[in-house]
A = this chain, B = another copy of it.
Amino acid sequence: MDKKLFQAMHKLFNPRSVVVVGATDSPDRVGYNILESVLYGGFKGKVFPVHPRLDTLQGLKVYPTLEDVPEPVDVALVAVNQFATVETIAQCGRLGIKAAICLAGGYRETGADGLRLEERLISTAREHGIALVGPNTLGLINTGADFYSTFYPLRLPKGRVSLLSQSGGLGLTIMHKAADEGLGINKWVGVGNRSTLEMSDYLEYLAQDEETDVIGIFLEGTEQARDLVQTAARIVKSKPVVIYKAGRLAATEYAALTHTGTASGSYQMYRDILMNQFGVLMVDSVAELVAACKALSVSTLPAGGGLGIVTHTAGPSIALLDSATHQGISVPPLQQETINQIKDVLGQNPPVVLKNPLDTVGVGFAPDMYGRVVNAVLDDPGIDLLVAIYCLHKNWRFPSSELVAAQQRSGKPVLAYYVSTWEGCREDRQLLQQAGVPLYISPDEAAGAVSALVHYGNMRGREKHAG
């Protein structure tokens, strides 16, 4: 992307100072909450609230107009109505403020009058070279700079996944699900009406952003999917992109996207082409999006697609196997050498079913014994990554330290599916995920994670061999 635009966007996410136009003292109002959001999030830069009559707000000195702010401002947070927003952007232009986040709705989404107003907003921003987020947006977050400019005061765990959402509300759903899953976020953008900054601008920015390892996207409706997926297909060569698209694409749209020239295939077929040939990960739910982003953020990539499964209880492995094979993942048989090693660990004549998935039954309940079996399976040349299934038990610990050691020893990705509540495995989750082992508590989400790692790993592998 254009270096100047990159720098302007960098300032948007990392301002040294912000002004809040429309700050107010009523907690019902957006103008109150955007100011609180900045302060509550722990922003280290300067904050200048603007209100025509108030003296102080939330402990800060208030300035009667934008002109009265005594220092240079990097980003204007604009929380006035749609008409006053246009005037504010013009004022920003005159004062040399080069970036603005415009919260108010009431533009093109409301009809012809709104569209005309939005066109005025766009031309004003362009005239002054202002990078404008929104309008009609919840705002944006950069946890790396403790900068929370949404009108939902929040604090998020820090991480290296960044999220773009065409919807603020669904973006919040994704954010909350990530928090429930112990997944840290770096940047989050509700892109709103995308008057000047397009979804693809944010995507290009995140592709170059050194704090972002994985990009998750939520798209509403069908517009622009084609351009965006094509941009994503370029970016995935260096950084994974996971797309959740509501209003699932019609076959004709997929046909266009994949250049197959035919619209006769199924949704699943086109989705598979995007995943397998282009390496763009397409998912159908919030849960799948977060599962995939977590896997790609926490784990290394597998060198191939052979999934090993180790469990001490059959059912969860059957549900995982079902879900994974449904997503095209192969669960190859174990080699005789591997089976011999497992016999050495578990004893010569165990009631164990010696295949993949490997069910250690009773004898494998002991975490250390279980860890040794996991090592043996990871040593199998046909196994490229492994899911370890273990049940929460009041008197037995999880094999977390063994799984971390096994992952480090083998260099292959290890994922855990613990049969538990989140509360029951909170401490283990932190240990595992910090050490590179993503944790899930449902078979479907574990299968989605495996699918993301395998599809993305395959694409990167092809790129490497081609280059």
Residues of A in contact with B (beta carbons under 8 Å apart): 27-28, 30, 32-33, 36, 40, 105-106, 109-110, 114, 152-154, 165-173, 176-177, 179-180, 218, 220-221, 246-248, 285-287, 311-316, 318-319, 321-323, 326, 351, 353, 361-362, 365-366, 389, 391-396, 419-424, 441-444
Residues of chain B with a CB closer than 8 A to A394's CB: 33, 36, 40, 152-154
Residues of chain B with a CB closer than 8 A to A444's CB: 285-287
Residues of chain B with a CB closer than 8 A to A154's CB: 394
Q: Are A286 and B396 in contact (CB under 8 A)?
A: no
Measured CB to CB, the nearest residue on chain B to A177 is B442
**Given A105-B361, A286-B443, A286-B444, A28 and B366 touching (CB < 8 A)?**
yes
Q: Are B170 and A442 in contact (CB under 8 A)?
A: no
Q: What are the nearest 8 A-B pairs in CB distance? A: A167-B315, A169-B313, A170-B315, A153-B394, A27-B395, A246-B319, A246-B322, A169-B316
Q: Are B172 and A419 in contact (CB under 8 A)?
A: yes
Please, could you name 6 A-B residue pairs with CB atoms under 8 Å apart, sorted by A? A152-B393, A167-B315, A169-B312, A220-B314, A221-B318, A247-B322
A186 to B236, CA, bound (A): 48
Q: Are A286 and B176 in contact (CB under 8 A)?
A: no
Residue in B27, B218, B287, B422 whose beta carbon sits within 8 Å of that of A442 in the complex: B287
Which of A166, A246, A389, A391 has the most C-beta atoms of chain B within 10 angstroms of its own C-beta? A246
Q: Are B169 and A247 in contact (CB under 8 A)?
A: no
Measured CB to CB, the nearest residue on chain B to A312 is B169
Residues of chain B with a CB closer than 8 A to A171's CB: 315
A167 to B391, CA, bound (A): 12
Q: Are A419 and B322 in contact (CB under 8 A)?
A: no
Measured CB to CB, the nearest residue on chain B to A171 is B315
A378 to B101, CA, bound (A): 37
Residues of chain B with a CB closer than 8 A to A420's CB: 176
A167 to B319, CA, bound (A): 10
Residues of chain B with a CB closer than 8 A to A33's CB: 393-395
**Given A33-B395, A351-B105, A167 and B248 touching (CB < 8 A)?**
no
A351 to B135, CA, bound (A): 14
Closest-CB distance, A356 to chain B (whole angstroms): 16
Residues of chain B with a CB closer than 8 A to A32's CB: 395
Residues of chain B with a CB closer than 8 A to A167's CB: 313-316, 318
Q: Are B421 and A176 in contact (CB under 8 A)?
A: yes
Measured CB to CB, the nearest residue on chain B to A245 is B322
A33 to B32, CA, bound (A): 55
A97 to B134, CA, bound (A): 73
Residues of chain B with a CB closer than 8 A to A287's CB: 287, 442, 444
Q: Are B153 and A395 in contact (CB under 8 A)?
A: yes
Q: Are B318 and A362 in contact (CB under 8 A)?
A: no
A165 to B366, CA, bound (A): 24
Q: Are A314 and B395 in contact (CB under 8 A)?
A: no
Residues of chain B with a CB closer than 8 A to A177's CB: 421, 441-442
Residues of chain B with a CB closer than 8 A to A389's CB: 169
Residue in B169, B314, B362, B424 whose beta carbon sits within 8 Å of that of A314 in the complex: B169
A372 to B444, CA, bound (A): 38
A153 to B391, CA, bound (A): 12
Q: Are A173 and B395 in contact (CB under 8 A)?
A: no
Measured CB to CB, the nearest residue on chain B to A365 is B28
A36 to B393, CA, bound (A): 12
A72 to B357, CA, bound (A): 44
Closest-CB distance, A14 to chain B (whole angstroms): 24
A166 to B318, CA, bound (A): 11
Closest-CB distance, A167 to chain B (whole angstroms): 2
A322 to B220, CA, bound (A): 10
A322 to B218, CA, bound (A): 13
